Structure 1
Amino acid sequence: MRAGIVTLVVAYVLSQFYRAFLAVMAPVLGSDIGATPEDLSAASGLWFLVFAGMQLPVGWLLDHIGPRRTASILFGLGAGGGAAVFALAQGPGHVSLAMALIGVGCSPVLMAAYFTFARIYEPRVFGTLAGIVLGVGTFGNLIASYPMAWSVDTFGWRETMGALAVISTTVALVLAVLVRDPPALVHEGPAPRGSVLTLLAIPALWFILPMQLVNYAPAAGLRGLWSGPFLEDVYGMGPEGIGMVTLVMALGMIAGNFAYGPADRLFRTRKWVIFAGNLCSSAALFTLWAIPAGGVVTTTILLTAIGFFGASFPLIMAHARAFFPPHLTGQGVTLINLMGIGGVSLFQFVTGGLYAATKTGATEPVAPYEAILLLYALAVLGGCIVYLFSRDTTT
């Protein structure tokens, strides 16, 4: 079981990488195949859209056939095949197709680990385990920053993506060998029934889902895409400079995941840790909106703060997990993931349109990014207001 979980974490490192690597590739993809920031925003949004759309079927598959087959088959075909398509891309449309395939492949790996935790460990440690997996997996963000920029510069982006296709396919084969399905649930009498609609009918989740919709969107959107064009347009940075700034932001995201994980047991509350953290995330976004050209150091600090405080995903998952019926665990964790990743996808498409609209006629290169930052800041603040009405739990 442990070897399988470790392999799922390795696959999740790649999942984190794939959602973030476009930022450092923006300049070279623009010059080589004519991919604009709007194109890459759409491609990144498509990754998150497909990933989110896969969560409901992944939840059903986890509950009915288990994590081993679900994760290994989808990751091999999607992540391995998508990276190969990317390596052969001749235009922005091919990049979008590749990102969609990779989104399919990455969709089950984190939920397979969370499903296993929820089935074999006590609920009170779920947040800590979820935070550890997310924190380790976020090292994929590190690989997608300066190391990815170095690889693209040294070997070329096509060669780099070809190597990633081989790595992803190999990981999928290892998943098929090492992952073990948790023991099946034993029911007295007829097996209980239910679906996602059963979960949506639980009032306690109504005030958690909006927070999940917005909490991760700014960190993922800025780290995965907008930080690259922003740093290039406002500060004139190239791939290596962008890679260094996004590396620091990625470290902040990793630290945030490890900090949030055990925080509910430390402070004996989930609700107020999540609320305070996201309020800080909103404050950092408002500050960067107010001083978007305040200097590289200030910008890096604020981006890192957004990454750190925007890493509340595992604790929100633990908060919602407390209200799931045991027989709907798979569909429950994937529903929460759907909201988080779906929110990122939604905001990627919206911010892409906002960028195009505000760039037209703008006298300053920073103007489109000011609009994007303000949208993110208001969205997180709105999520915090709704979340105030949620019911706290530490079990």
Structure 2
Amino acid sequence: MAGIAALAIAYVLSQFYRAFLAVLTPVLGTELGVTKGDFSLASGVFFLTFALSQFPIGVALDRIGPRRTAAVLLAAGAGGGALLFSFATAPWMIIAATGFLGIGCAPVLMASLYIFARLYRPARFAMLTSWLVAFGTAGNVIGSAPLAYAEATFGWRAVMVGLCLISLLVAAALYLLVRDPEHPEAARKREAGFSGFAELFRLRVLWPIIPLSAVAYAPSIGIRGLWAGPYLADVFQADIFLIGDVTFFMALAMVVGAFVYGPLDQLFGTRKWVAVGGTSMCLLAVAGLGFFPQTSVGVSTALLILVGLAGGNYGLLMAHSRAFLPPHLIGRGVTLMNFFSIGGAGVMQFATGAVVTRSIVPGDPAAAYSALFLFITLVLAVALVIYLFSRDAKPNHVA
């Protein structure tokens, strides 16, 4: 339990690092000249390095276990990335720092899911994953209003130095407290190596799940972590404190949403249709932002909260795919699906940056954000249609 608690705290850091840029948008723009395109690139680089790290992490989890995998990468990536960020003097340094942060955060949740998959019944996987995500989403909360007030009090450089020290302390806790579960299929793992991913790609049952896994996370984390700040500032002239307050409530909604999703598959006896219903709600909320981007701060805040609430189906989708994974490829299987989830979010950050840049209309700041939200709506709708062809997995189903 001590190891799981340490991993949960590490996941709070992971969620913080993927979402804190939105609050620092005004100060980094003023002091370092970081543009909207730079922010989009930095956020995308975080998710890109995070996603690409999943392949070696999957092999490492199956071969050397979660303890060393998570501890070493968190110390080097998150600790080093936060330190580099604190010394940044140009936009490229911010972008490079977020790349290191992505690598450092990449193994944390996967180490936890690996332990869940090996030590707990399959029926509990969705609930445990969702509740861990809900707890970790406190990082989103800390990265909203609390970060805004900390930046105003201490300055963003001092805050990042403090985060570097915290990252190193948490990494040390992981090394000391996490225990690697036994893996009886060790010989087969050694044979599979990276070729195990090819075996996973041959599982056609995963194919209809992959597109939704790749984009379902993007609306909540992409809007919360990147676009909420510029949207509120440009359309409603919001200052850092209003941005912090709105993103705070959106982050709280993400926490609540993940908790609510946790037991729903067992309550309704289905994973597929719970995911369909939640994704549909998220889609409608993003569409509302696209069609009515400047009605009022209150309306936009309500829709952002709904996006956060309904967009928390990560654990459910991970459980849906985990049900079809062979036992000897659990580590590589969960990291592969996480690659699509995080990689899809990263690609969406790059894509949405291009959409906003190309849709700017002088004198009409809402036009670019209307295009942004409608683009997300379209992509999410296509993925949802494909997901309708997936095979359901009951909570007790396991390969």
Residue 218 (structure 1) shift: 1.0
Match of 2:383 in 1: 383
Q: Distance in 1 between matches of 2:198 and 2:33?
A: 43
What is the 5 A alignment of 1:134-145? 134-145=133-144
**1:1-395 pair list within 5 angstroms:** 2-186=1-185, 193=192, 195-359=196-360, 361-394=361-394, 395=397
CA distance in 2, matches of 1:161, 1:191: 40
The structural deviation recorded for 1:362 is 3.6
C-alpha separation between the residues in 2 aligned to 1:161 and 1:189?
43
One-letter amino acid matched to 2:169 = T
Cα separation, 1, equivalents of 2:322 and 2:353: 33
**Residues 190, 130 of structure 1: alpha-carbon distance in 2 compared, 3 angstrom cutoff:** closer
The alpha carbon displacement at 1:318 in A equals: 0.3
Between 1:182-191 and 1:307-316, the stretch displaced more is: 182-191
Is contact 1:286-1:377 (8 Å) kept? Answer: yes
Q: Secondary structure at the match of 2:359?
A: helix
Counterpart-to-counterpart distance in 2, 1:148 and 1:191: 44
Q: Where do 5+ consecutive residues of structure 1 fail to align? A: none
For the Cα contact (< 8 Å) 1:192–1:327, is it kept in 2? Answer: no
SS of 1:274's equivalent in the other structure is helix
Which whole-Å CA distance do the structure 2 matches of 1:355 and 1:272 have between them? 33
Q: Which runs of 5+ in 2 are unaligned?
A: none
What amino acid is aligned across from residue 38 of structure 2 in structure 1?
D
> If the length of structure 2 is used for normalisation, what is the TM-score?
0.97
In the TM superposition, what is the alpha-carbon distance from 1:189 to its structure 2 partner?
9.3
Instruction: Provide closer, same or farther for how the CA distance between residues 62 and 295 of structure 1 changes in structure 2, counting only shifts above 3 A.
Output: same
TM-score, scaled to structure 1: 0.98
Residues of 2 paired with 1:110 and 1:12: CA distance? 6
Deviation, structure 1 residue 383: 1.0
| Cα shift at 1:203 | 1.1
In 1: Cα distance, 2:286 partner to 2:92 partner? 32
SS in 2 for 1:391: coil
**Which residue identity lines up with residue 390 of structure 1 in the other structure?**
S
Give the deviation of 1:191 after TM superposition: 7.7
Tell me if the contact between 2:272 and 2:320 (Cα under 8 Å) persists in the aligned partners.
yes
* Cα offset, 1:357, TM superposition: 1.2
Alpha-carbon displacement from aligned partner over 1:285-334 (angstroms, at most 9, x marks no partner): 11111111111111111001111111110000000000000010000000
8 Å CA contact 1:24, 1:144 repeated in 2? yes
> C-alpha root-mean-square deviation of aligned residues, in Å?
1.3
Q: How many residues align?
A: 393
**CA distance in 1 between partners of 2:384 and 2:191 (Å):** 34
The offset of 1:46, in angstroms, is 0.3
Q: Distance in 1 between matches of 2:29 and 2:118?
A: 46
User: Which one-letter code corresponds to 1:199 in the other structure?
Assistant: L
- 1:363 Cα offset (Å): 3.4
Q: Distance in 1 between matches of 2:251 and 2:127?
A: 20
Q: Is the 8 A contact 2:189 2:329 kept in 1?
A: no
